[in-house]
Amino acid sequence: MTDTATRPPRAPEGERMAATLAAQAYQKATQARFRAEVIEGGGDYVIADAVAPHEIFHTMDVPVISLPWYSAVISAKQLSPYYFGLMDELGYHDGLPRYTSLPFMTTLANEPERAPYGGLPKPTMILERLRGDYGQKIGEQWARAFGGVPLVTIDNSSVTELTPGWFRHAQSDWEALYEPHRLDFQVKQIENVIAVAETLTHRSLDPGAFRQVMHRVNEAGELVDRAKRIIAAARPAPVSLPEQLTNVMAATWNRGSQWAVDHLRTYCEELEARVASGVAACPDERVRLLWVNNGLWFNTGFYRAFEEKYGATFVWSMYSNFLSDGYRKYFTDDPLRALAARHISMNEQLHLPGWMAEWIIEQARDYGCTGAVMLVPIGDRMSAFGTKLCAMALEQGGIPTLTLTASMVDARLWDNAAMIRKVEEFLEQRVLK
Amino acid sequence: MTGADALARIRAVYADRLGEARRRRAAGATLVGYFLNAVPVELILAAGLDPIRLVGDPARRSPLTERYLEEYFDGEVQSLFGAAMEGDFADMSLLVIPRTAETYLQLYYFLKEIPKWELQASVPPLHLFDLLQTPHWTVAQYDLGRMRALAARLEEIGGARIDEAALRTAIATCNRLRSLLGQASTLWQGDAPSLSGVDALAVIAAASVLHPDEAVPALEALVADPPPVRRDDRPRVLLKGSPQSDPRVTALIEEAGARVVAHDHVAGDTTYDTLVSEGGDPWEALVHHYQLGIPGLRAYPQRAQDQRFLALVERSRAEVVIFFHDQYDDTLGWEYPDQKKLLDARGIPSLFLKQQPYLDPPVAEQHAAVAGFLATLQKVPA
């Protein structure tokens, strides 16, 4: 155990990074703008799947509400039990996907006083990327529940070969990695989305502005990579996982903006200053852990529950540097094809056996992690597929792995004491022994 | 061939598809196995190869399934994975997996990955047929490319180069099979049935298990010389939902006191009701058919799918609908509330058996649920 006298200072409880506060303030300002321009002003906005070309709308200055973001907000406000109850009442059985259905339920409930931000008003369009089998089912009904809005879909072609080491090819060598026939198709589909968006909003996509947006996403990715290297090299880590997520996700949701680039640069500088002055998220850091698979949005405090007793701190989740490894797509001539490449295999990289495990093992080595806790989601099997093989690959790579089966969003199904006990036993028996 | 001979042959191959595959392989056929209803068998036939549709077997288990697959996979997909691990598909020169259901897409990736973990696994060569069913022009163009890619792969494994004449012939042959199934359907959908719902599944399946050279005469014989009709006053049931690739659920419903007159799933009556156009470009006709003309989990808009469902309800004169959804269904349940409303508006009672396990199903519980539901029908005054 580290001698108390030589420990670096702990970031005081409740004292967050200035960057974190700035990210939260920006999110609030964005919400205020959404309220003024869309809810009160009746302006255009789009509801979109997370893995969809938001960059088109960002360039056109059309606000985007991301499905999982709104799900996470509903969940964080502890409203998920209410909406799942409504789902039961309406005849949607309790085995149906929960993560993506919460926002739809707020529309069916039609209770602005209860829903976050007063509920979502009628959008200009709903954009669904049809990754699984049911996105179109929810999208059609949701479009109807809004009184009839266009459902625009991007169908999901599938890669035939999983080239090893996707993260080494994904930034510059993506044409072969994602297969040209798929990229051709994806470009056509995005062109269709642009045509619909231009028609409905009476705005035009400025090619020069779009090119700049695409360059800025790459620049943001480079800064996230810089943040990764700072956190990976520092002992102890200068930032907690919840704060990492706040900063990186704010930039991800606002990707392509100058704010995202500036924010991440400030974030990196603050991380460096923290390292220089020895400020730590967990001064008694003894064990670094990976949080594998989706986030636990209704209880992000869980990530820090093992610091005091065990010096065990989560330093990585799949959101930590996916903006770097997954989003960056360098291009010379054709930013639209680069945009097509960005989303075409995004979920596959995070969830398919083979691709998922090899990236996470690489992250464990980079960050110096010696244990992993993996969330296996209930009621969203798309995110559960491949977790067994991933856990086996991590174990084979020398990284003890604990799997926790839980809902990502349904607080009713979470037994906090039992889950803490499981992680504590795992730490005592497999990681700290 | 008499109708009785044909029915006996159909029942035999339905009960033992892998035995039928072994027999044809031993006779020198180059077999192309495939899953679901979305692989264009016309291409396989036009290449001079021998297609056979493969399905799960709830009795076939492999310890490797539990080791590698999450419990959330459809039970039938778990069964297929286990069968592949045990070498059941070793007679296939190629195994074509369509992308028309997410768990089958995942199955493709798992089978690709597994040789790294199980060195002894004898998985046949795999081909992902990336058929998409979104009703858009852009998607049709993509599907055409995937059809051409499948044709090229068939050539690689020894198939003939597919020319337009061969493709037209294959389309006509498969349409003949579809039409014969339409004619045969009166044997289970008619007022005086000569075939049970269980036999109906076998007859529909025969068209995708037997080679057409044998399936066409067998179906012709069955239609020309059907089994004797029998009086049957039991409630007429349409079974809808997850694929019924084996007869267990149909048999359970019939044992509980009903008669299954129609199946609405990817192994049922909606698989043969649309023909491939025989005019125009045959490649485009095939794309149009498989993109828009077949039932599928990902197909939409829902209104079109529901119209097809209601048309089958009317055509089969179903008095009752039983929805049967797989244990980890994440898709059909979104359609159910609206479909129930459609039935309620027509005064058609329905039963919803949701989240039903494929492996080790609670048979007594299922039987009691169906029997209890049927009993409530009898109490309704005429």
Shortest distance, CA A360 to any CA of chain B (angstroms): 17
Is B105 inside any structural domain? yes
Q: Which two tokens stand for residue A303?
A: 């990530």
- Supply the pLDDT for residue A12: 62
Shortest distance, CA A186 to any CA of chain B (angstroms): 9
Task: Report the candidate in B16, B17, B77, B83 with the shortest Cα–Cα distance to residue B51.
Answer: B17
Residue to mutate among B103, B109, B141, B356, with most A CBs inside 10 A, is B109
Question: Which chain A positions have a beta carbon within 8 Å of B99's beta carbon?
Answer: 158
Backbone φ and ψ for B299, nearest 5 degrees, come out as -65, 145
Report the residue from B110, B117, B128 with minimal CB separation from A160. B128
Instruction: State the CATH number of the domain containing residue B149.
Output: 3.40.50.11890
Is B25 inside any structural domain? yes
Over range B229-241, report the average pLDDT.
94
Cα separation, A44 vs A297, in Å, equals 28
Is B147 inside any structural domain? yes
Q: Provide the pLDDT confidence category of residue A7 given band limits of 50, 70 and 90.
A: low
Report the residue from A133, A192, A353 with minimal CB separation from B110. A353
Confidence check: pLDDT of B61 > 90:
no
Report the residue from A140, A162, A389 with minimal CB separation from B301. A140
pLDDT in tens, B160-190: 999 999 999 999 999 999 999 999 999 999 9
Is B107 inside any structural domain? yes
- Supply the pLDDT for residue B232: 87
Report the domain count for chain B.
1
Q: Does the beta-carbon distance from A381 to B72 stay under 8 Å?
A: yes
Taken in order A14, A403, B102, A157, the sign of the CA dihedral is positive
Shortest distance, CA A279 to any CA of chain B (angstroms): 42
Cα separation, A152 vs A143, in Å, equals 10
Is B323 inside any structural domain? no
- Supply the pLDDT for residue A8: 66
Kindly identify which residue of chain A lies nearest to residue B140, measuring between CA atoms.
A185
Confidence check: pLDDT of A83 > 50:
yes
Over range A91-109, report the average pLDDT.
90
CB atoms within 10 A of CB A283: 18
Report the domain count for chain A.
1
Residue to mutate among B65, B71, B72, B99, with most A CBs inside 10 A, is B72
Give the neighbor-by-neighbor strand order of the sheet with B50-53: B50-53, B31-34, B92-98, B126-129
Percent of chain A with pLDDT over 70: 97
Domain that holds residue A329: 16-431
Q: Would you call B156 exposed, middle or buried from its count of C-beta atoms within 10 A (0-12, 13-18, 19+)? A: exposed
Shortest distance, CA A333 to any CA of chain B (angstroms): 23
Is A274 inside any structural domain? yes
A117 vs B184, higher pLDDT: B184
Is A373 inside any structural domain? yes
Question: Which chain A positions have a beta carbon within 8 Å of B330's beta carbon?
Answer: 95-97, 132-134, 380-382
Confidence check: pLDDT of B313 > 50:
yes
Question: Which chain A positions have a beta carbon within 8 Å of B107's beta carbon?
Answer: none
B334: part of which helix (H) or strand (E)? helix B332-345
Cα separation, A187 vs A53, in Å, equals 11
Give, as one character, the DSSP assignment of residue A333.
S
Report the residue from A136, A354, A380 with minimal CB separation from B300. A136
Confidence check: pLDDT of B257 > 60:
yes
Over range A328-335, report the average pLDDT.
97
pLDDT in tens, A359-371: 999 999 999 999 9
pLDDT in tens, A197-249: 999 999 999 999 999 999 999 999 999 999 999 999 999 999 999 999 999 99
**Average of per-residue pLDDT values in chain B:** 96
Report the residue from A91, A189, A353 with minimal CB separation from B138. A189
Is A1 inside any structural domain? no
Contacts of A76 (CB under 8 A, 6+ apart): A297, A298
Is A8 inside any structural domain? no
- Supply the pLDDT for residue B382: 43
Shortest distance, CA B381 to any CA of chain A (angstroms): 28
Size of interface A-B (CB pairs under 8 A): 124
Tokens 């490449």 identify what position?
Answer: A341
- Supply the pLDDT for residue B111: 97
Report the residue from B142, B298, B300 with minimal CB separation from A185. B142
Kindly identify which residue of chain B lies nearest to residue A164, measuring between CA atoms.
B113
CB contact at 8 A, A396 and A402: no
Most confident of A14-18, A64-68, B215-219: B215-219
Q: Does the beta-carbon distance from B113 to A353 stay under 8 Å?
A: yes
Over range B127-134, report the average pLDDT.
98
Q: Which two tokens stand for residue B145?
A: 């490319």
pLDDT in tens, A179-195: 999 999 999 999 999 99
Confidence check: pLDDT of A1 > 50:
no
Shortest distance, CA A381 to any CA of chain B (angstroms): 6
Checking phi first, is residue B17 left (phi over 0); if not, alpha (psi -120 to 50) or beta? alpha
- Supply the pLDDT for residue A220: 98
Q: Does the beta-carbon distance from B335 to A185 stay under 8 Å?
A: no
Confidence check: pLDDT of A274 > 80:
yes
Is B98 inside any structural domain? yes
Domain that holds residue B29: 3-164
Confidence check: pLDDT of A2 > 60:
no
Q: Does the beta-carbon distance from B338 to A141 stay under 8 Å?
A: yes
Question: Which chain A positions have a beta carbon within 8 Å of B112's beta carbon?
Answer: 162, 354
Q: Does the beta-carbon distance from A382 to B105 stay under 8 Å?
A: no
Residue to mutate among A93, A141, A358, with most B CBs inside 10 A, is A93
